Structure 1
Amino acid sequence: MRTFVLALLPAAALALLMWLMAAHRVLPGDWPAWPFDPARMNLQQILLAFGLMPRGAIALVAGVALGLSGALLQAVLRNPVADPTTLGISGGAQLGLVIATILAPGLLEHGRWPVALTGAGLAAGLVMAIGARRAFAPVTMVIAGMMVAMTASAIATAITLARGEYLLSLVIWNGGSLVQQDWSGVRILALVLAVCGIAAALLARPLRVLSLGAAGAQGLGMNVAAVRFAAVVVAVVLAAAVSAELGLIGFVGLAAPALARTLGARTMGQVLAMAPLIGALTLSICDGVVMTLAGATGEMFPTGALTGLIGGPLLIWLLPRLRGSTPPGTEAGEGPGARLARPGRVLAGLGASIIALIVVLVWIGRIPGGWAVLDWDSFRAFLPLRLPRLVAAGAAGALLALAGAVLQRLTANPLASPEVLGVSGGASMGYAITLYLFTAPGQGVLSIGTMLGGALALGLVANYARRRDMPAERVLLAGVAVSAMAAALLSAIMATGSTQSWQVLAWLSGSSSKVGPAQAATLAGLAGVMLAAVWLARRWLQVLPLGGEVAAGVGLPLIRARLALIGLAGVATGAATVLVGPLSFVGLMAPHLARRIGLARAQDHVLGAALIGAILMIAADFGARMAGFPYELPLGLFASLLGAPWLIWLMMRMRR
C-alpha cells in the first residue's frame, strides 16, 4: 500500500499541473466565482467554467468507471487482459450509437446511454456465449472479444463513410474525445458510477470466493452463474455509460487493474479500491498530454487515441502472465473435412468460375431505371473501365487468402489470418508513416511502405512469441495487440483533420474505383509470383502444422522457413491492403472454405484458398458498387460485412 501511495501522489500532482497549465492558457486570472452564472461571466470565464472544468472532472469520473469495469471483468473471468476494449464491449456500444445517430436518430431522444447499453450488452452477450463453449479460457475470450470489436468497428466505419455529413464529427467522437460544453455529462456519469459502485461493493465478497475457481466456489454453495452475470452486467453498464458520453476510450480498464497489482494490490478488495483511482489518474494524465500538445501545436486529437496507443504495448507486456491457454491441438475449428482424390478438377473449376464471373459482372449493371444487360457496343465501352478493377479486386483477394492460408499452416491455428495476426495492422501503420515521411508519395512508394509495415509487424509478433515459447493462441493475441495499436494510430491521424487524415480515410474505404490497367496488372503479377513461391515452399507448409519438433526432425530449416513464410505473408498482405484497406476477413474465410471442400495438401490448399479469395473479393467489389447505387460503398468494409457472420459462426462451433 505504501508503494501505491508513493506512486499515486506524483501522478496526481502531474495530472493537476497539466490541467492548471491548460486553465492558465484559457484564463490567466480572475477565475469565475461559484455558482457559475454565464450572464455575469466573460467568454474566457465561460470556457473555463463550462468547458475545461467539466472536462477535468469527467476525465476523473470516466477513469474511475473504466478502472472499476476492468477490475470487475478481470476478477469474474480470472483473466488479466480482460477489459471493455478487449472483450468487445466498447466496440458494441460504439456500433449501437453510430447506427442510432445515422439510421434511427429518434432512438436518441431519451439520451445516448440506453442505446450504448444495448449495443454493449449484445456484444458482451456474444463474447460470453463464445467463451462459455470454451470454459471461459482467457485467450479464447480475448480473441473473441477483439474480433467482435474489430467487426463492430468495420460496420460502424462503413455506415459512417456512407453518410458524409456526419463524417468528421463521428470520426472525432469514435476516437474518444473528452471535450465538454456543460456539466450534464459529469452528472450522468457520476450517477451511473454511484449506483454501480454500490453494486461492486456488494459483489466484492462473492468475487473473492470466486477467485478460488468456479469448482471451489460451487462447492461452497455459491451460484457462480448468477455472480458472473451480475459482475458482467455492472461492468457493461459502466463501459456503456462512458462510451455514450465520450466515445471509445480504450484500454484504461486494462491498465488500471494491472498497475494496481504491480503496485502491491493482493486481495480482491484492494484491487477494486485501487484500480478506479489509477484509472482516474491514467485518463487525466492522458488528457493532460493531449491538452499540452494542443497548446503547443494548435492541433487537437481525441484522448481515446492516446489511450489506445498505450494499450497495445501493455497487452503485449501482459501476455506472458496469461494462464489457462487452450492446450495445443484443441482448436479443432470446423473439424476434419473431406479429402479430394483429384483436387485438380476442383481447382480448374474455381479458375473457370473466376473468368466466368468477371465476364458476367462486366456485362451487367445498374442504371437509374434498374438492372440492365449491356449491348455489345456498351460492353466494349465499359470493358476498359470495369475489367481493371475486377482484376485488381480478384488479385487482392487472392493475395489475402494466400497470406491467410500460409499463416494458418505456420501457426497451426484455424483463427490465424492477416487481420488477426497484426499483419493488416502493421500494413496500416506502414501506409500512414509513408504518408508523413514523403511529400505526395506515389502508389509505388505507398505500396512498398505498406508491404514493409505488414512484414515487419508479423516478424515482430513471431519473434516475440518465439523468444517466450508461446503457444499459437498467444501469437494470435500478440497480433491483435498490434492491430489495436494500428487502429489507435489511424484514429489519431484521422481526428487531426490534416491532409494526411483525409488520405487515410479515403484509403480505409478500400475503393477500387481508381484502379488502372497498370496497377491491376501489377497486383495480378504479384499474386502469380506469390503463388509460385508457395509452390516452392510446399514441403515446408506440409510439415510445419505438425509442430516444430517434427519439422526439425525431418530436416526442415525451421528458422529460415518461418522467416521466409512470414515475409511472404507480410508482402502479400501489404500489397492487397493498399487496395482493399486493413480489414476484410477474406484471409480468414477463404482458407477455411478451401479446406472444407477437400483441398488438404499444402499446395492445393493455398492455391484453392487464393482462387476462392479472388471470387469473394470480386463479388464484394460488385456488391460494393451496386448495393448503394449510384454511390459506391467501401470495398474492404463491404467484404468484412460478408466475413463477420462467418467469423462468429466459426468461433461458436469451437468447443473445448
Structure 2
Amino acid sequence: MRAAADRWPGIAGAALLLAGLALCLHNAPALPGIGTLVDGWLHPATAPYTVTATLYGWLPRLAVALLAGAALGAAGAVLQQVLRNPIASPLTLGVAGGAQLALSVGTLLVPAGLGALAEPVAVLGAGAALGLTVALAWRGGLEPLTLVLAGLVVSLYAGALNAALLLFFEYDLQGLLLWGGGALAQHGWGEVAFLAPRIALGLAGLVLLVRPLTLLSLGDEGVRALGLSLQRLRLLCLAVAVYLTACVVSAVGVIGFVGLAGPALARLCGARTFAQRLLGATLLGAGLLWLADQVVQPLDARLPGLLPTGAFTAVLGAPLLLWLLHRQRLPATPRTGAAPVAASARPGRRIAGLASAAAVAGLIAVAVVQTPLGWRWDIPWQVTELAPWRLPRVLGAASAGLLLALAGVLLQRLTRNPMASPEVLGISGGALAGVVALALALPAASTPALMAAGTAGGLVTVTLLLALGRRGGYAPEQLLLVGIAMKALFDGGLGMVLASGSLQWSRALDWVSGSTYGVSLPGALATLAVALLLLPVCLALHRWLDLLALGGEQAAARGLAVRRGRLVLLMLAALLTAAATLVVGPLSFVGLMAPHLASLLGLRRARDQLAGAAAIGVALMVAADWLGRQALAPYELPAGLTASLLGGLYFMWLLHRREG
C-alpha cells in the first residue's frame, strides 16, 4: 500500500508530461523541417507564414515559459529553505506584488526609458517588499503563519497602491495591467535573450550556495557552530531569489503559484535533500508553467480578449495550496500581543461617545468641502441643495462600514484571532467573485440580484472554509491560511476578467476599488436597511460569541451547540460581507480595524464590542469616503481603496505589535 502511494506522484507526473506534449504538438503550427526553419531564420523576408509563426511566436513562447517557470521554481525552493516555511513563495511573500508596483511607478516616472531600467526597478521593488515582509515577522522568529500573514498584507497593500495608480492613470497603465497578468505571448526572441543569461547567472549562484543552504537544515545554532554567518547567508540567498523573481516579473509580469507548486511537487516526488529539491523544483517549475501555457493557448484562441497565463496559474495554484494545507497542520500560534485591556466599567458611555463621533463624521462628510478657493463649511440650505449627490455616498459608506465591522467581530471571535477579517479570510473576495460573475452574465442585473450573487459567493467561501478547516478542528491558523488561498483563487479569476478586454472590466475595477461614486439613493437606503436589520440580529447572538471565544470545549460544556452556532455565525458573516462588498469592494480592512479598536477601548464583551465596532466602522468608512473625495480634489480616490491604504498600515502595525 505504501509502495503504491509512493509511486503515484511519478505516474501522475508522467501523465501530465504526455498531456503537455500532446497539447504542445496540437498548439504548434504545422511544423516545418529543420532545414526550412534554418532557411527561414537566415532569410526571414521570404519565409512562409508557418515558418515565421513557428520561429518568432511558438518557439520563443515555449522558451520563455520554460525559463520563467524554472526561475520561479528555484526561487520558491530557496525561500522555503531559508525561511523554513513550506508555503513560502514569491507570491505569498509579496515579492511579485512589490516588483509589479515598482514597474508601475517606473512607467509613470520614466515612460520612455523604462525598458532599460525595468530590471533594476523590479529588483528594487521586489527586495523592498520582501524586506518589509521579513521585518514585520522578524520579532516573531519568522514563524510560518506570521510570515505568510505579513506577506499577505504587503501584497494587498502593493495591490491597493497599484489600483490607485491605475485609477488615476488609466490610459498610461492599461497596457501594464494586461501585461502584468502574466501574458507569455511573444513576437520575437527579445525576452528570451533578456531572461536566459540572467536566469543562468542566478541558477549558477544557487548551485554555489547549495552546500551552505543545506546546512540551514541543522538549525541556527548548528550553522553558527560551523562558523558561518547566518545573517549574511540568509540575505545572500534571499537576494538571489528576489533577483530571479524580479527578472521574470520585469519580462512577463506576475506568474502565480509556480514558485509554490514546484518545491511542493518536488517533495511529493521524493526529494529529501535541498539539492534534490532545488533541482526538482527548477525542472517541475519549468514543466508546470509550460503545461499551463499549453492549456491557455487553445482557450485564448477561442475567447475574446487576452487570457494571461499568470492569472490562469493562480487559479490552478490556489487549489494546490488548499491541498497542501489539508495535508499539513501548522503548529498553533499562541495568542500573544499586548497586555489585555481591562473591560470598561461604563461601556454605555463609550458606545455613546463612539456613536457621536460617527455622527460628527457624517456631518463633516456632507457639509465640509474643498473648493478652488479653499475649504468651505456649507450652511444648511447648501447642504440640503447638494444632498441628492452627497447623501447617497455618505449613507452607502456608513452602511458598508457598519456591515464590515459586524462581520469582523463575528470572525475574530469565531477564530479567536484578532488578525481575522472578511478580507483576510477571503469572504470579501468570494462575494466580489459572485457579483462580477453575475454582472458578466447579465449586465442589466438588478441590485438585489447582485446582492444575492455576492451572498452566494460569500457562502461558497464559508462552506469551503468549514470543509477545509474541519480536519484542523477549525484552528485559527488553518482558517486564516485557507482564506489566503481562497483569496488567491478569486484574485486570479478577477485578473483574467480585467485582462480579457470585456466591456465590463471598468465596472469590475470600480467594484474592486470600492467606489461610492455610482451609489444611488435607493441603493444606499437598501444597504442601510440591510445593515439596520442585521445589527439587532448580531446583538441577539452575543451570548454565542461570548461562549465561542472561550473555545469549543468550554462552549459545549455550557450548553452551546458549537457546530450549529459556528455555521449560523459564519453564514451571517457572509451575508454582512456580501452586502458591504457591493458598495466598497473587497478591500477596506474596516473589518479588521473596527473590532480591534473597540477592544482597545475596553469593550470586551461581545454585545459591547459589536455596538462599539459598528459605530467605529461607520466613522472609519465615512471618513475614508470624505478623505478620498477631498484630499486630492478635483480627483477622487474610492472609499474602499482609501480605507485599504489606511487599514493596510494599521494591519502592519498590529502584526508587528502582536509579534513583539
TM-score range with shorter-chain normalisation?
over 0.9
Equivalent residue, structure 2, for 1:624 = 628
Alignment of 1:31-50 (within 5 A): 31=37, 33=39, 35-41=41-47, 45-50=51-56
Equivalent residue, structure 2, for 1:405 = 409
Alignment of 1:344-423 (within 5 A): 344-423=348-427
Unaligned runs of 5+ in 1: none
1:644 aligns with 2:648: yes
Equivalent residue, structure 1, for 2:297 = 291
Residue 110 of structure 1 aligns to a residue whose secondary structure is: helix
- Say which is worse superposed, 237-246 or 195-204, in terms of deviation: 195-204
Equivalent residue, structure 2, for 1:433 = 437
Alignment of 1:500-519 (within 5 A): 500-519=504-523
Return the letter of the residue paired with 1:77. L
CA shift in 2, pair 1:643/1:609, >3 Å: same
- Say which is worse superposed, 17-26 or 626-635, in terms of deviation: 17-26
In the alignment, the residues of structure 2 paired with residue 367 and residue 470 of structure 1 have an alpha-carbon distance, to the nearest angstrom, of 52
Question: Is the CA contact (8 Å cut-off) linking 1:56 and 1:284 kept in structure 2?
Answer: yes
Return the letter of the residue paired with 1:454. G
- Say which is worse superposed, 399-408 or 468-477, in terms of deviation: 468-477
* Structure 1 residue 181: Cα displacement: 2.9
In the alignment, the residues of structure 2 paired with residue 582 and residue 27 of structure 1 have an alpha-carbon distance, to the nearest angstrom, of 50
* Structure 1 residue 31: Cα displacement: 4.6
Question: Is the CA contact (8 Å cut-off) linking 2:417 and 2:476 kept in structure 1?
Answer: yes
Question: Is the CA contact (8 Å cut-off) linking 1:107 and 1:115 kept in structure 2?
Answer: no
Residue 372 of structure 1 aligns to a residue whose secondary structure is: strand
Unaligned runs of 5+ in 2: 1-5
Question: Is the CA contact (8 Å cut-off) linking 1:293 and 1:300 kept in structure 2?
Answer: no
Q: Which whole-Å deviations, capped at 9, do the CAs of 1:213-249 have from their partners, x for residues lacking one?
A: 2233333443322222222111111111111111110
Return the letter of the residue paired with 1:158. A
Return the letter of the residue paired with 1:591. P
CA shift in 2, pair 1:262/1:568, >3 Å: same
CA shift in 2, pair 1:201/1:34, >3 Å: farther
Match of 2:584 among 580, 583, 586: 580
1:238 aligns with 2:244: yes
Alignment of 1:81-100 (within 5 A): 81-100=87-106
Residue 24 of structure 1 aligns to a residue whose secondary structure is: coil
Return the letter of the residue paired with 1:180. Q
Alignment of 1:72-471 (within 5 A): 72-105=78-111, 108=114, 110-297=116-303, 299-322=305-328, 325-327=331-333, 330-438=334-442, 440-471=444-475
* Structure 1 residue 409: Cα displacement: 0.7
In the alignment, the residues of structure 1 paired with residue 636 and residue 541 of structure 2 have an alpha-carbon distance, to the nearest angstrom, of 39
1:537 aligns with 2:538: no
* Structure 1 residue 205: Cα displacement: 1.4
In the alignment, the residues of structure 1 paired with residue 220 and residue 496 of structure 2 have an alpha-carbon distance, to the nearest angstrom, of 41
In the alignment, the residues of structure 2 paired with residue 579 and residue 26 of structure 1 have an alpha-carbon distance, to the nearest angstrom, of 52
Question: Is the CA contact (8 Å cut-off) linking 2:136 and 2:656 kept in structure 1?
Answer: yes
In the alignment, the residues of structure 1 paired with residue 455 and residue 522 of structure 2 have an alpha-carbon distance, to the nearest angstrom, of 18
In the alignment, the residues of structure 2 paired with residue 637 and residue 600 of structure 1 have an alpha-carbon distance, to the nearest angstrom, of 29
Question: Is the CA contact (8 Å cut-off) linking 1:160 and 1:170 kept in structure 2?
Answer: no
Return the letter of the residue paired with 1:603. R
Return the letter of the residue paired with 1:217. V
CA shift in 2, pair 1:116/1:35, >3 Å: same
Equivalent residue, structure 1, for 2:20 = 15
Residue 499 of structure 1 aligns to a residue whose secondary structure is: coil
Q: Which whole-Å deviations, capped at 9, do the CAs of 1:356-407 have from their partners, x for residues lacking one?
A: 2222221221234433333444322101221121011011011111111111
Q: Which whole-Å deviations, capped at 9, do the CAs of 1:330-358 have from their partners, x for residues lacking one?
A: 23244312421111111112212222222
Equivalent residue, structure 2, for 1:57 = 63
Q: Which whole-Å deviations, capped at 9, do the CAs of 1:424-478 have from their partners, x for residues lacking one?
A: 1111221122224435211110011102211321232133212332521121010
Question: Is the CA contact (8 Å cut-off) linking 2:546 and 2:605 kept in structure 1?
Answer: yes
In the alignment, the residues of structure 1 paired with residue 11 and residue 542 of structure 2 have an alpha-carbon distance, to the nearest angstrom, of 58
Equivalent residue, structure 2, for 1:487 = 491
* Structure 1 residue 62: Cα displacement: 0.3
Equivalent residue, structure 2, for 1:559 = 563
Question: Is the CA contact (8 Å cut-off) linking 1:18 and 1:289 kept in structure 2?
Answer: yes
Return the letter of the residue paired with 1:15. G
CA shift in 2, pair 1:539/1:6, >3 Å: closer
* Structure 1 residue 70: Cα displacement: 0.6
In the alignment, the residues of structure 2 paired with residue 393 and residue 28 of structure 1 have an alpha-carbon distance, to the nearest angstrom, of 64
CA shift in 2, pair 1:142/1:37, >3 Å: farther
Residue 183 of structure 2 aligns to a residue whose secondary structure is: coil
- Say which is worse superposed, 428-437 or 196-205, in terms of deviation: 428-437
In the alignment, the residues of structure 2 paired with residue 550 and residue 239 of structure 1 have an alpha-carbon distance, to the nearest angstrom, of 47
In the alignment, the residues of structure 2 paired with residue 223 and residue 325 of structure 1 have an alpha-carbon distance, to the nearest angstrom, of 28
Return the letter of the residue paired with 1:112. A
Question: Is the CA contact (8 Å cut-off) linking 1:98 and 1:156 kept in structure 2?
Answer: yes
Return the letter of the residue paired with 2:538. V
TM-score w.r.t. structure 1 length?
Answer: 0.95
Residue 140 of structure 2 aligns to a residue whose secondary structure is: coil
- Say which is worse superposed, 311-320 or 60-69, in terms of deviation: 311-320
TM-score w.r.t. structure 2 length?
Answer: 0.94
In the alignment, the residues of structure 1 paired with residue 437 and residue 209 of structure 2 have an alpha-carbon distance, to the nearest angstrom, of 46
In the alignment, the residues of structure 1 paired with residue 463 and residue 338 of structure 2 have an alpha-carbon distance, to the nearest angstrom, of 28
Return the letter of the residue paired with 1:286. A
- Say which is worse superposed, 317-326 or 301-310, in terms of deviation: 317-326
CA shift in 2, pair 1:108/1:166, >3 Å: same
Question: Is the CA contact (8 Å cut-off) linking 1:396 and 1:523 kept in structure 2?
Answer: yes
Return the letter of the residue paired with 1:218. R
Question: Is the CA contact (8 Å cut-off) linking 2:78 and 2:278 kept in structure 1?
Answer: yes
In the alignment, the residues of structure 1 paired with residue 626 and residue 30 of structure 2 have an alpha-carbon distance, to the nearest angstrom, of 53
Return the letter of the residue paired with 1:185. E
In the alignment, the residues of structure 1 paired with residue 332 and residue 138 of structure 2 have an alpha-carbon distance, to the nearest angstrom, of 13
* Structure 1 residue 92: Cα displacement: 0.9
In the alignment, the residues of structure 2 paired with residue 182 and residue 83 of structure 1 have an alpha-carbon distance, to the nearest angstrom, of 30
* Structure 1 residue 136: Cα displacement: 1.7
Question: Is the CA contact (8 Å cut-off) linking 2:368 and 2:377 kept in structure 1?
Answer: yes
Question: Is the CA contact (8 Å cut-off) linking 1:334 and 1:650 kept in structure 2?
Answer: no
* Structure 1 residue 111: Cα displacement: 2.5
In the alignment, the residues of structure 2 paired with residue 104 and residue 405 of structure 1 have an alpha-carbon distance, to the nearest angstrom, of 45
In the alignment, the residues of structure 2 paired with residue 525 and residue 334 of structure 1 have an alpha-carbon distance, to the nearest angstrom, of 37
In the alignment, the residues of structure 2 paired with residue 119 and residue 97 of structure 1 have an alpha-carbon distance, to the nearest angstrom, of 8
Residue 366 of structure 1 aligns to a residue whose secondary structure is: strand
CA shift in 2, pair 1:19/1:28, >3 Å: farther
In the alignment, the residues of structure 2 paired with residue 272 and residue 448 of structure 1 have an alpha-carbon distance, to the nearest angstrom, of 47
In the alignment, the residues of structure 1 paired with residue 606 and residue 113 of structure 2 have an alpha-carbon distance, to the nearest angstrom, of 51
